[in-house]
Amino acid sequence: MGFRAFAIDLDGTLLVGEHVPDENVRALQQAHAAGFKIIIATARWVQMAQRVEDQIGIKGPVIACSGAQVFDPVAGRDIFDQRLPDDFVRELYAICDSDRCVATVTVEDRVLLKLDGEPDHSQVPAEMTWVPKLTGAADTLPRVAVIQGSAVNKRIRDELQDRYGDQVHFFNSIGPTGKVLLTLTSAKASKGDALRAACDHLGITTDEVVAFGDSENDLEMFRAAGASVAMGQADEETKSVATHVTARNDEAGVAQAVYRIMETGSP
């Protein structure tokens, strides 16, 4: 069975910083024109993923929030939606509120930004709301929380991971600046679970998908897909799980692998 779709991470994979290299855009446009489905699969929230889709000129299901959400832009609805558990969220918010950190928490169609000091609002996306504290800032549970700060992340793992490890995924991911971020989702959500939901929605099998990624939160997607491609700068664990390794993200490694697949049928 040949490949019919690509599931592609953003940070450290398709993107260099906040930019999609022109060669990646051209490769995915050619793949899309040839009939391949393109599925963005990111830890970011859905609006940011859709902006990348707009740059490429595609509109397909988006795996967002590190696999906690799959959104169909054509139908305008979620086809997969998993939330962090209530007790965990209360304790997580208390830690983030008491310690210095940068936290982005996705709830419904907006993103809470917890940051010491109010940001320049002209520099943040329209869907983002700055809050001095996370506690009480929203009346719905989040799909994903992404925390930056080595000290606070150590505290979160030390205090919460043993007690909530069966309910919550604790993943390291790489942000646009190259810093390690702690990404938290429900244990019922992963990029692998989300990929299966997206494929069911598209009427294809996961065996027909090539997954691209660069970090720990891509591994379940690698395991679910028919083939997987790790970026050249990925850590050794990520590379060991992938079926193939391509060039670095700043060398348009996605484009190189996409062209090979279109030419030879294999990454």
Q: Assess whether 94 and 169 both reside in one domain.
A: yes
Q: Assess whether 136 and 159 both reside in one domain.
A: yes
pLDDT reading at 1 higher than 70: no
- Among residues 168, 186, 204, the one where a domain terminates is 186
Range of the domain at 105: 86-186
For residue range 126-149, list pLDDT tens digits in order: 999 999 999 999 999 999 999 999
Q: Which two tokens stand for residue 201?
A: 């929605």
Cβ neighbour number for residue 22 with a 10 Å cutoff: 10
Q: Which two tokens stand for residue 42?
A: 């990111």
31 pLDDT band (50/70/90 cuts)?
Answer: very high
Domain with residue 116: its CATH number is: 3.30.1240.10
How far CA 162 is from CA of 148, 171, 227, in Å, comes to 20, 14, 32
For residue range 66-120, list pLDDT tens digits in order: 999 999 998 999 999 999 999 999 999 999 999 999 999 999 999 999 998 889 8
User: What's the angle, vertex CA 209, arms to CA 36 and CA 225, rounded to 5?
Assistant: 170
Query: Do 129 and 105 touch, CB atoms closer than 8 A?
Result: no
Average pLDDT, stretch 237-266?
97
- Among residues 165, 186, 207, the one where a domain terminates is 186
